[in-house]
Each structure stands twice: as C-alpha cells, then as structure tokens.
C-alpha cells in the first residue's frame, strides 16, 4: 500500500507539472512531464488530454491569413483541443484555450465577414477568447452591422461583458426583431439570471394567439418594456424594423411617455394602434392598468 501511495503521489506531481507547463504555454516542458507521466502511470485519468494539449503547443502554428485556413483551424480547436482542455483543466479550460483563439483573431484582422463562415471573423474569435473590446470594435466594423444577426449577437455579448445589461439591451432588442429564433441562444450566452427569468415569464405571459414559435421572440422587447418601463428608452428606433413586433415596442415606449404626461387624447389613439398589432400584449397591458386603478 505504501508503494502504491508513492506511485500515485509521483503521478500526481508529474500531472501537476504538466498542467503548469501547459498553462504557461511551454510545450517542450509539458511534453517532457507528460512522457514521464505515461511511463509512471499509463492509466492516469487525464493522461490522454494532457498528451493532446502538450503536442498541440509544440505543433501549433497560426494558419495562413485567409478565411478557409482559419475555419479549418477553428474546427480543429473545437473538435480536438476544446474537449481536451475541459477534461484536463475543468472550469479553467479557457485559460488554455484563449491564446489559441487570440492568435486566430489577430490573423483574421481585416478579413471580411462571410455569413456562411462567421467563425473566421475577428469579432467571433475575439469573443471566444474574452477580448470584449476587440470583439465589439470588430463587430461594429462590419458594413451594416446593426442589421446582421451575427454582428448583433457579438455586440450584445461584448457590451454586456464590458458594461452590463443596460448597455446590451439595444442590440439585444434589435436581434429579437431581426432573428427571433436566435434570441434564446443569445440570452443563454449572456448568463444573466434576471434576464433568463424574464424570458421564461415572457414565454408564458400570454396565449400568443396567431404567433408562431419561430416569431415569438420578436415580441420580447415590447413585453419587456411593459415589465420594465425604464427600459423603453433602450430601443434604438432607427434600427427598428417595420414588422409588427418592432412597431409595437415603439408604441409601448410612446404610450408610457404619454401616461407620464397625462396626454389622454393621444394615449387613446396609441392604445388603439397597439391593440391592432397584438391583442395578447394589449390585453396584458390593460389588465395591469385596471388592476393598478382598483388598488
């Protein structure tokens, strides 16, 4: 038993040294310790992922500065290196992964955005390694960025990480209008507990008559303003679409302002426009007003 404990202890020491070398991006030293670990304990639980990471550090070279080469490098990282890093480093995996993606982000500088190969764009690559300022700048540099779902997604996450939810809401709302099915994935990426709760409440807030599941997310901005009136000013009206959900959101903002001004004549007119756009949301809105009146 003492011999087993000694061997186990030595294997742990070698594994920890390999982990430290990998974290310091010293491929040669990592490979040396991994070789020792293989000789000492060939069945060590994380031997295989440590071998993969050590070899990757030794062999890693930035690809050529073209979209095809970068896409290929990203696929290799996601298929091989990301799982190995998670197995060996757990919650600290991104410490190992970030430098690879940062290299690719620098290589991709100035390359155009291609919708079918979005992961080769500097904005996505910078997001992947947590360089949020670089990600925001790169996304904004895409021509027509505020009308492109990928760019809106990257901008929202980058702004949230840098400045919080209030800064991210305008692009989050814009994405909801332009690509409603993608809203759930964006909210999941943000990992904001309050926003996740709101999104869950939104889904069950109404019957959503005549609203298909694929389009439901587009109504989230209007519902959100009803729940959080202070956020009605976060709409970028210039980026609103002409579709009913965006028009409804803008009407909510106007209605809330007229309520503050007690301009009842204009308020009645806007309420009627709102009712015609969404019976469900209008009913929810009026139910709240009636409940408030009778308190």
Tell me the per-residue pLDDT of 42-91, one tens digit each, with 9 for 90 and over: 999 999 999 999 999 999 999 999 999 999 999 999 999 999 999 999 99
For the segment 233-238, the average pLDDT, to the nearest whole number, is: 70
Residue 68 lies in a domain: no
pLDDT > 70? residue 144: yes
Model confidence band, residue 238 (pLDDT cutoffs 50, 70, 90): low
Residue 227 lies in a domain: yes
Residue 14 lies in a domain: no
The percentage of the chain sitting over the pLDDT mark of 70, rounded to a whole number, equals 93
The domain containing residue 198 runs over which residues?
Answer: 165-295
- How many domains does the chain fold into? 1
Question: Average per-residue pLDDT in the chain?
Answer: 92
pLDDT greater at residue 8 or residue 249: 249
| Residue pLDDT, tens place only, 91-121 | 999 999 999 999 999 999 999 999 999 999 9
> DSSP H helical segments within 41-118, as ranges?
47-59, 67-76, 82-89, 93-107
For residue 42, give both structure tokens. Answer: 């060939």
pLDDT greater at residue 295 or residue 36: 36
The percentage of the chain sitting over the pLDDT mark of 90, rounded to a whole number, equals 83
Residue 274 lies in a domain: yes
Residue 147 lies in a domain: no
pLDDT > 50? residue 32: yes
Radius of gyration of the chain (CA): 26
pTM above 0.85, yes or no: yes
Residue 275 lies in a domain: yes
For the segment 130-137, the average pLDDT, to the nearest whole number, is: 98
| Residue pLDDT, tens place only, 212-228 | 999 999 999 999 999 99
Model confidence band, residue 289 (pLDDT cutoffs 50, 70, 90): confident
CB neighbour list of residue 246: distance below 8 Å, 6 or more residues apart: 177, 218, 221, 240
Residue 212 lies in a domain: yes
Residue 224 lies in a domain: yes
The answer to whether residues 22 and 57 touch, using CB atoms and an 8 Å cutoff, is: yes
> DSSP secondary structure string, 137-191?
HHHHTSTTGGG-HHHHHHHHHHHHHHH-HHHHHHHHHHHHHH-GGGHHHHHHHHT
How many whole angstroms separate alpha carbon 226 and alpha carbon 222?
A: 7
Model confidence band, residue 7 (pLDDT cutoffs 50, 70, 90): very low
The answer to whether residues 66 and 25 touch, using CB atoms and an 8 Å cutoff, is: no
Q: pLDDT at position 208, please?
A: 87
Model confidence band, residue 209 (pLDDT cutoffs 50, 70, 90): confident
Model confidence band, residue 251 (pLDDT cutoffs 50, 70, 90): very high
Q: pLDDT at position 240, please?
A: 61
pLDDT > 90? residue 2: no
Q: pLDDT at position 8, please?
A: 59
């Amino acid at each position: 038993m003492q011999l087993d404990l000694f061997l186990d202890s030595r294997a742990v020491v070698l594994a920890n040294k390999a982990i430290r070398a990998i974290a310091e991006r010293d491929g040669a030293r990592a490979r040396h310790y991994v070789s020792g670990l293989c000789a000492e304990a060939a069945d060590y639980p994380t031997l295989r992922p440590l071998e993969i990471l050590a070899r990757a550090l030794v062999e890693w070279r930035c690809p050529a500065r073209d979209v095809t080469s970068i896409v290929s490098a990203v696929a290799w990282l996601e298929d091989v290196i990301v799982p190995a890093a998670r197995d060996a480093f757990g919650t600290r995996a991104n410490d190992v992964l970030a430098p690879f993606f940062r290299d690719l982000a620098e290589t991709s500088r100035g390359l155009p955005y291609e919708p079918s190969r979005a992961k080769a764009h500097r904005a996505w690559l910078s997001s992947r390694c947590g360089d949020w300022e670089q990600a925001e700048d790169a996304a904004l540099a895409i021509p027509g960025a505020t009308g492109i779902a990928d760019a809106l997604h990257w901008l929202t996450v980058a702004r949230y990480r840098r400045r919080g939810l209030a800064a991210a809401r305008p692009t989050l709302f814009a994405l909801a209008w332009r690509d409603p099915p993608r809203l759930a994935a964006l909210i999941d990426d943000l990992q904001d507990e309050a926003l996740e709760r709101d999104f869950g409440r939104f889904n069950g807030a109404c019957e959503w008559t005549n609203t298909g599941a694929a389009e439901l997310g587009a109504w989230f901005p209007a519902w959100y303003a009803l729940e959080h009136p202070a956020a009605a000013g976060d709409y970028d009206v210039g980026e609103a679409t002409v579709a009913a959900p965006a028009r409804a959101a803008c009407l909510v903002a106007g209605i809330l302002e007229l309520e503050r001004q007690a301009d009842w004549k204009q308020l009645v007119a806007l309420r009627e426009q709102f009712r015609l756009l969404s019976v469900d949301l209008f009913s929810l809105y009026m139910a709240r007003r009636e409940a408030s009146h009778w308190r």
